[in-house]
């Protein structure tokens, strides 16, 4: 819930017309970092990418999108 609030705030602030690559890259980096953090819960690798995909299906993360069109 807290990560989604931060993602939406970031996407609303930086989500202008010509910044779509930047916010998509940011969303991708957040997903990778969240996977790393959740994988550090034990000394062995406890979470696979398939398990992470199931987890994000159950608790979806906010999608990067453009909120402000500066051309119109």
Mean pLDDT along residues 35-42: 85
Domain residue extents for the chain: 1-58
- The DSSP bridge partners found for residue 16 are 68
pTM for the whole structure = 0.81
Instruction: Check pLDDT > 80 for residue 50.
Output: yes
Measured between alpha carbons, how far is 58 from 9 in angstroms, rounded to an integer? 22
Measured between alpha carbons, how far is 32 from 39 in angstroms, rounded to an integer? 11
Mean pLDDT along residues 53-65: 93
Mean pLDDT along residues 45-71: 90
DSSP string, 10-57: HHHHH-BGGGHHHHHHHHHHHHHHHHHHHHTTSSS----HHHHHHHHH
Q: Summarize pLDDT for 39-48 with one digit per residue, the tens.
A: 887 777 788 9
């Amino acid at each position: 819930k807290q990560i989604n609030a931060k993602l939406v705030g970031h996407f609303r602030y930086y989500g202008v017309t010509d910044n779509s690559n930047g916010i998509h890259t940011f969303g991708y980096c957040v997903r990778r970092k969240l996977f790393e953090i959740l994988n550090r819960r034990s000394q062995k690798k406890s979470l696979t990418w398939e398990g992470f995909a199931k987890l994000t299906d159950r608790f979806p993360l906010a999608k990067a999108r453009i909120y402000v069109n500066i051309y119109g």
